Structure 1
Amino acid sequence: MIDTTGYTYCHEHLHIDLSPQKHTLDCRLDQYQLLCEEMRDVQKRGVRNIVEVTNSFMGRNPQFIENLINDTGINVLLSTGFYIEGFFPASLYDASVEQIAQGMINEIEVGIDGSCLKASVIGEIGSSEAQFSPTEQKVFQAAAIAHLETGRPISTHQSMSTMGRQQIELLKQCGVEMENVTIGHCDLRDNFEHIIWMLDQGCYVQFDTIGKNSYYPDDKRAASIAELCRRGYEKQIMLSMDITRRSHLKANGGLGFSYLIDEFVPLLKQHGVSDHQISTLLKTNPARLFG
């Protein structure tokens, strides 16, 4: 479970392999020593928890994570579920909602792939850009069952910040209370009114692609967060970077995990976000949802 003494990155990957689908070795994040260095660095900055949302068929490796925890002391919360179209196993299409849910429940209650670790989060489950396929919806229905059975929170993936409304509506139909849901990737485009609508449903939203300025500039991310805080929504916002590539690591020329604390937090302060509000985003909110 979560270590409430420090900050939490709500949406990250410490071992992921999307290289078969992306056709580049850069998308195989598995450089153990470099990740150990990154985890030691963020801990020096007050980060205690990484929510690791790599699930089945994304290259999840619980033994790798076990070693990382043991060697660095970072607290990692693992996930269960399935991602989006293009990353599903063939068997998922024929499986029933109940069968998919039972697989998630097993990983929460029994453990993951013969490791000593259990899943703490149902995620990242997602929808494709501007569409929500029948199988993606089936995964959401299964996630709802698994959540209602185990009480573990649901973390979603919006492709390019689309379909969050549809995700929320489906989970509501399945009986999920929105205080147990966090909607991912809300910060990849101008969609402020969409974010307001989602927040008003009672869920959490994630500004979790911090540093990915080629998609959307961090200055706009910070301005949006500042405005949301001014409107009183700070208790529903969480932060992360969604590091997925070797080239994202500092030793490989990337920004590295510490960028969020070293660069983005000062940017938030420049936009008028207080230290207390920053602590709420990075510490209080994740502890409430993932604890």
Structure 2
Amino acid sequence: MTYMHEHVRIDLSREKGDPDCLLDEFDHIAGELRDLSSRGLRRMVDMSCRGMGRDYGYIDRLEEETGIEILVSAGFYKEPFLPEEVYSSGEKELAKLLIGDIENGAEGSPRKARIIGEIGSSLNTMTDAEQKVFRAAAAAHGETGIPVSTHTTLGTLGYEQVQLLKKLGVEPGKLIIGHLDLADDLDLIFRVLDEGVYVEFDTIGKIKYLPEERRVAFIRECCSQGYSGQILLSMDITRRSHLKANGGIGYAYLPDVFLPLLVEAGVSDSNITDMLERNPAALLGEVV
């Protein structure tokens, strides 16, 4: 299994004015990931990019202690979380930074990013700075060919993101639209899938935003209509309070709770294998 949109360290606490948004409790996270390894999780993609508190030394230690491979990303998030270089640099300079993360490793680390993201738009709008990031990300994709993964705020502008990135040359089969389940709009999900891109159900367990039965129903309908080859699953753990030790659902909620709900709803084992194994492998350029 591969979780395609996670965070093992992220810091949005200053902008949000909330210490819960500093996720850095190494021992708790390592314990959860060791437990997840016994359930079949072999890999996750950490989407904490520039300006989000990423720490590659922390990730190195986490891999060593858990045996789970953690892939890293290259990107700039969305306003108000963008680092200063987004405002002070042109899109060509930003693209060079991303390409450097991909080809050489970032910030002195030998870790090379395997995905561009998460790049995001704001609620119902895409600011000038966010558009600059999207153009830079598309240029980096054109140079490297690696996948692009987006953030939609509460599922808004997912279709518009597809149109913009395709216009900028991003291959549909290398494009992931994130958080689209939060739009609570199955017609929109189908519309985006029909563009040939991946849709990521990556807020699993966050029932504050969408009841779990709606996610299950959406995934069941997508699979029944033949789209299982374009669906990805993840949880987007971002807060200390999401961890099991702090009373949250924890990283293992997906296999322990959500997958049984899918099976009960009639989603086949083959569909689940598509979403958690075959699709991530295809996106990452591996033999399926």
Structure 2 length-normalised TM: 0.97
Alignment partner, residue 101 of structure 2:
107
Alignment partner, residue 242 of structure 2:
248
Write out the 4+ residue segments of structure 1 that deviate beyond 2 Å after TM superposition. none
Q: 2:159 aligns with which of 162, 165, 179?
A: 165
Alignment partner, residue 192 of structure 1:
186
Q: Which amino acid aligns with 2:17?
A: H
C-alpha contact (below 8 Å) 1:189/1:215 kept by paired residues: no
Unaligned runs of 5+ in 2: none
Distance 1:70 1:283 in 2: 22
Unaligned runs of 5+ in 1: 1-6
**How far did residue 189 of structure 1 move?**
3.2
Distance 1:238 1:89 in 2: 28
1:263 aligns with 2:251: no
Structure-to-structure mapping, 1:128-207, within 5 angstroms: 128-207=122-201
**How far did residue 254 of structure 1 move?**
0.5
Taking every aligned residue pair, what percent have the same amino acid on both sides? 51
Distance 2:70 2:140 in 1: 20
**Aligned-partner SS, 1:47:** coil
**Aligned-partner SS, 2:140:** helix
C-alpha contact (below 8 Å) 1:54/1:79 kept by paired residues: yes
Distance 2:272 2:261 in 1: 11
C-alpha contact (below 8 Å) 1:66/1:117 kept by paired residues: no
Structure 1 length-normalised TM: 0.96
Q: Which amino acid aligns with 1:148?
A: G
Q: Which amino acid aligns with 1:64?
A: Y
1:238 aligns with 2:237: no
1:60 aligns with 2:58: no
**How far did residue 243 of structure 1 move?**
0.2
**Aligned-partner SS, 1:135:** helix
Distance 1:212 1:187 in 2: 11
Distance 2:264 2:66 in 1: 32
Q: Which amino acid aligns with 2:217?
A: A
Any idea what the Cα deviations from partners look like across 1:133-158, whole Å, max 9, x if unmatched? 11111111111111111111000000
C-alpha contact (below 8 Å) 1:144/1:171 kept by paired residues: yes
Q: 1:226 aligns with which of 220, 237, 251?
A: 220
Distance 2:185 2:284 in 1: 26
1:116 aligns with 2:110: yes
**Aligned-partner SS, 2:251:** coil
**How far did residue 221 of structure 1 move?**
0.1
Distance 1:220 1:261 in 2: 18
Alignment partner, residue 46 of structure 1:
40
Distance 1:148 1:238 in 2: 23
Distance 1:266 1:26 in 2: 29
